Chain A
Amino acid sequence: MSAKKVIFYIAILAISLTAPFLLPDFRTQLATLWLMIIVALTWDMTGGQMGYNSLGNIFFYGTGMYVAAVIAIALVYDVSDYTDAAAAGGEIFKFTDTQYFTGMLLGIIGAGLFCAVTAVIIGYLTFGLRGPYFAIGTLGVAIAGGELVSNWEWVGGGQGITLPVYPGDFNVGKLYFYYLFAGTGIVLFIFLKWLYSTRFGEAINAIRDDEEKAEAMGLHTLRYKLTTWGMAAFFVGMVGGISAFQLIHFEPLETAYQTINLGIFMVVCVLLGGKGTLWGPVIGAILFHVIKEVTWNYFLGWQWVALGALIVVIVVFFQDGVMGWLMHRKPEWFGIRVEEKEPAVAGVNQ
């Protein structure tokens, strides 16, 4: 890595770590920004890098929330007692600090693992679908997930679940969740940077460009697809778990399985930033989050119209996103160049 790049990455890291102190009023906003970056990056793993446009990744976010909450509660209390009491508005369940943090840690990791396994199973059933059929099929999974959970009284039904509040100071709590999201995001980014540089990265790109050709060349396509979606779901499930504790209260249709909000936003972020690139989803998430907050503040009442218009503009005029536009203007930045032959290269079989 060149010195310039090292400085660039250190600067980015420094901004990420100091941001909540530089903008103390926006700690929750910044945490949400990391959430957007994470779901955009994971969506791009299948959508951008592998060519499978899933509209159902939000399923893993919702499922992650529930799994994390259930694990945290079940470690201390009986889950159905807990949810029944919440519905009746009766008895208050207390968690000690140790119980709270152990539950959170195990809940978040458990959520990631559970979602990874679920993704492999759902993938096994849906990866036979291609193009728009895969998108609709996975959207169906997400909608069905929300409906099923909202009718399942053991996990609180349509009421959802209320988790204990962060035991320390309110502002420290905000910092705590910011770093949980930021930490996950940084780990995910480094992981993807490595993953896309391996043969695995090449293989999923090949599946995106021409899956039939990849099969004809003997690639283990299904294995690669399941692994990719499993890894994406692992991270989405984890941030779902973190969100559950950050939000304290969540319910199935609007918060957990929020198909038309976060479920669509993650796709828009990636399209805006540029599909199939590492930085595209990050840039897209930042731009989108800023635009979204501005419209929410200044066009209240019209925010959905403004967002809808933005989506239409991106899809019609700006399909390649910021990175795609850059790649078109400055191909040499991305190593796309004609290189004259070096005389040293001899024939094959030497």
Chain B
Amino acid sequence: MALFEIENLTYFYPESDAPALENINLRIEEGELLLIAGGSGSGKSSLARLLAGLIPGFYGGKLAGRVLFRGKKLSELGPRLLNTQVGIVFQDPEQQLVMTTVEAEIAFGLENLGLPQGEMFRRLSEVMSFLGLTSLKQEFTANLSGGQKQKVALAAVLAMNPRVLILDEPTSQLDPLAADEFFHLVERLNKEMGYTVVLIEQRLERCFHLADRLAVMEKGKILRSGPVKEVARWEVENSLPFIPPVAKFFATLRIPSLPLTVKEGRKELKRLYSGLPALRKDQPRHHHLLPVQETRQGPGVVELKNVWFTYPNGKEALKGVTLRVNKGEFAVVIGENAAGKSTLLKQMVGILKPGRGRVLVMGKDTRTLSLPELARHVGYLAQNPNTCLFQDTVEEELRFILDNLGLEDGGMIDAVLKKLGIIQYRKTNPRDLSSGERQRVALAALLVAKPTLLILDEPTRGIDYRLKKDLGCFLAGLAKEGLTVVMVTHDMEFAAEYAERIIMMFDGRIVSDGSKHEVLGDSLFYAPQMTRLFKDFAEGVLTVREGIEKISANGDFGPCLATKGSL
């Protein structure tokens, strides 16, 4: 008997005419890890909520079909029994913690179940030991990092001893290191502890290989579900983007074994290249990437001259940063957490002013300009677009900035909305849109003022492959039209695909600055999957397209490509 059986299920949210889930048929076996991929608004989160009993329990709405849990209708299980069988961890760690300290947070669910003191203490101690949270027992949840908060949320669910763990994009708000740590825990829970896991995720390159089965959703339907490799091949054949680079590369080459990890892939490449190439005489090489900005030509749109900055708490966040970004450049800033990336962006925008040194935007010192004055030249998109959307309609949102800056519409609103593909939402409340659409509205609200410099802080966080592709193409297009784009991201695949210049930061300093092939191609740990795959086999490979080109140039793989055009 399957753990979960969903039969002919269709669901409508209250006051909605379009189904959020349509004719879903799915079986989830005990002990498996099911990965659910798909675009924003495809119904993944609705499916997660359905499995956790929150649909229709919390949301209401109309539901047809049935959901069985171990042969029994989900609606027939009492809420308390359901909560002890199915646990769910949500996307935003900030919005799922209830109590003020770690220990109280983990105990919250146990108290709700009415467990005796001894049992609560036993579970709490076991869970905290397993997840390494003991040292944080008395810590205030507000003081925890995003990764720690998500770990506490997982601990709070695990303490309730569920049979199934539903993880709804649990790493979308985390940095790569915290995300890796979280996935490592998920792997242990599934493989060593036997938990059944339903994982909804956008960072597929980090978890694709962990899954037993993959389900791809689109417009509320499950398009395909089955073994990961089988579905991955089907995705490539049907030009769907929800597949990480290594798997996409080998699926495109129609390699029967279809490696999913860099390790497996390198084995396959070794076979294709008939072994690892011999060490060349000119190895090892030493690159001198610093400083390169002096060699760059053209007028500087934003220029930092020996900028130092210290926060009031004494943390020195920037240490002598010198940088110039020219007109029409698409530059991406990378680096670990607390490397100074966001501080750098805030200096460019003028939110922060340098302690020493100067920041020039369009040749003017930011210390002499107020934020509203800078807004005429600089557009800044924060990580969370919700921080600036408050008007009743999308159109009013765009008109707001025009009115503040005293600019005429002159058809700009129409043009920008069309360009971003959101003209149909002109009269819609921005808060009613999906996260990807909200981001586009926030972007449109910046572009309508025709800035010369566009600054984005982690715009790819939590968005799906298709939206990333749209955003990347859009930003690259803007740069070609002459707009200067500077963004921070942890997403190396995105940087490899769309950026032209990479600035790597560490401990408040720029450690590397150059073209993406110079910086990422030689990076030890920031290299994208394809670069790691081709290391020692071929140089200059950052993307799947480049990998295919190298392979095609090397042998007879050209004719067997699945869908070269889709790359």
User: Do A and B interact?
Assistant: no
Residues of B within 8 A of A (CB): none
| Residues of A near any B CB (own CB < 8 A) | none
